[in-house]
Amino acid sequence: MAVKNIGIVVGSLRKGSYNKAIGQYLREQAPQGVSLEMVEIGGLSLYNQDYDENDEPAEYAPFRQKIKSFDGIIFITPEYNRSVPGVLKNAIDVGSRPYGSSVWDGKPAMVISSSISNQSGFGANHHLRQSLAYLNMPTLAQPEVYIANVQACFDEDGSLLKEDSGRFLTKALNAYIDFANRHV
């Protein structure tokens, strides 16, 4: 079986998000036969364990079904306080619950982090990898994808400015698809 349908989960809600621009760029680079789809996470209510036993928010079930439908997941995240944004952690928690029913289980993953500084989201990238290891998501190890000074790679409209960054992202996407094909 080959990977055909990949979800992109972006940990930024900002209208002009560079992380969304990375996701859109990857969608445009998808090889024939592979579909990449952005997954909206901004409307998910904050996870509360009480929901596991009572009425959960209406948006949880469609989100979980959407994640289940993918062959793999690409996470693209900025770094907030040396970790992932709360909205991304919330989406991970919603998808992993109730206990024993994780929609993430076994899905091959790739992590891309970015920053407007030189540090490139290293802390967020590795914090996210910790969670993915626990969720039993095999995660692409190489190439590692850290985008420093992302505002120099994409403009405010999301258009690519640096061709070398585009080539690197395309190379990383192809490596991920090869990796994911070995894990589905």
**What are the structure tokens assigned to 89, written together?**
């952690």
CB 96 within 8 A of CB 104: yes
Whether the Cβ atoms of residue 8 and residue 76 lie closer than 8 Å to each other:
yes
**What digits encode the pLDDT tens for the residues 12-67?**
999 999 999 999 999 999 999 999 999 999 999 999 999 988 899 999 999 999 99
Which domains occur in the chain, in start order?
5-183 (3.40.50.360)
The whole-number pLDDT of residue 85 equals: 97
Q: What's the predicted TM-score (pTM) here?
A: 0.97
